Amino acid sequence: MKTQGRKNVHGKGGVRTKAAYTTSKYKSMLRTLVTDLIVKESVTCTLSTARDLSALADRMVTYGKAGDLAHRRLAAATVRDVWADEKNNVTALKKLFDVLALSYKDRNGGYTRVLKIANRKGDNAPMAIVSFVK
């Protein structure tokens, strides 16, 4: 028989744990990672995150290849507004559309690669490097 009590409070009846990692936090993390991938062209993360990041990055490059205003707005909804090269006034979105999309104009998909590396020391999580294919 379940005990009655306050919800989402440790040590009390009812739901004993509260989920700490919500969908909105996960989507926000993916937005940050895809922006870092565009700026640095290589990112290290856990393997499960790397698979989601690879799919999102491929979609962003596809938007960049289309190149029209509608696809620029769709990409701007995901890519954060950060400088890729502050000296030359290049943002991450501008780099996506002007540099990366042009380098993949003859390629049909598969713009990123996921390379497995050693497990993380603290919690033994499988790690991976996500990078753009040259």
For 53-75, how does the pLDDT look when each residue is reduced to its tens digit (9 = 90+)? 999 999 999 999 999 999 999 99
Which fold does the domain 23-132 belong to in CATH? Answer: 50s Ribosomal Protein L17; Chain: A, (3.90.1030)
What confidence tier does 21 reach under pLDDT thresholds 50, 70, 90?
confident
Structural tokens at position 49: 């995150």
Structural tokens at position 74: 């769709």
Residue 57 contacts residue 34 (beta carbons within 8 Å): yes
The structural domains of the chain, with segments of one domain joined by +, span 23-132
pLDDT at 17 over 60: no
Residue 105 contacts residue 50 (beta carbons within 8 Å): no
pTM for the whole structure: 0.84
Q: What are the Cα distances from residue 59, in Å, to 72, 74, 120?
A: 12, 10, 28
In this prediction, residues 34-51 reach a mean pLDDT of 97
pLDDT of 37 reads 98
78-127 confidence digits (pLDDT tens): 999 999 999 999 999 999 999 999 999 999 999 999 999 999 999 999 99
pLDDT of 52 reads 97
